[in-house]
Amino acid sequence: MAVTPADASTVVLDASALLAYAFGEPGGEAVGPLIAGALISAANWSEWFQKVAQRGVATAGLRAELEALGLVIVPVDAEQAERAAALWPLTRSLGLSLTDRLCLALGQAHLPARVVTADRAWLALQALLPEGLVVDCVRPPQALHEPA
């Protein structure tokens, strides 16, 4: 599903989507136009920041740079923590981490919302999520190649 800035009143970014954008990975080009006004959980911000540092990127000034583009880092509150815990039985078979579930919980707190990820496994969640919460994966579908 193509992601456009006007698709929902609230856009919530998963760390994987922001990583795809930062490193020019497949689908990352769809994230840039979404950053202005997008929300990211402080937990997802921490995950993103750690992974950027692990790849050798100088992290000084990164937060200010992305906030200047309009990214809003949202602290995790008790309600989001409880929602993330409630999502565990629905998501554990897909291997979603606590930060993944906190991203979804942030979306639930801001309905209607579109949660943008680069993790294709999240697409299997759509039928399980509350009305008004849409998951979009920026990664193109994997192509199946026929043997030569």
Interatomic CA distance for residues 32 and 21, integer angstroms? 6
- pLDDT category at 145 given cuts 50, 70, 90 is low
Q: What pTM did the predictor assign?
A: 0.88
Judged against a pLDDT cut of 70, whether residue 55 lies above it is answered with yes
28-43 tens-digit pLDDT: 999 999 999 999 999 9
- Alpha carbons 47 and 41: distance in angstroms, whole number: 10
| Bridge partners for 65 per DSSP | none
124-54-78-85 Cα dihedral, nearest 10 degrees: 40
What would the pLDDT profile of 101-110 be if each residue is shown by its tens digit? 999 999 999 9
Domain segments of the chain: what residues?
A: 10-137
- Give the end-to-end CA distance of the chain in Å, rounded to a whole number: 30
**Mean pLDDT calculated for residue range 95-104:** 96
Domain at 10-137, CATH class: alpha beta
d(CA 1, CA 115): 12
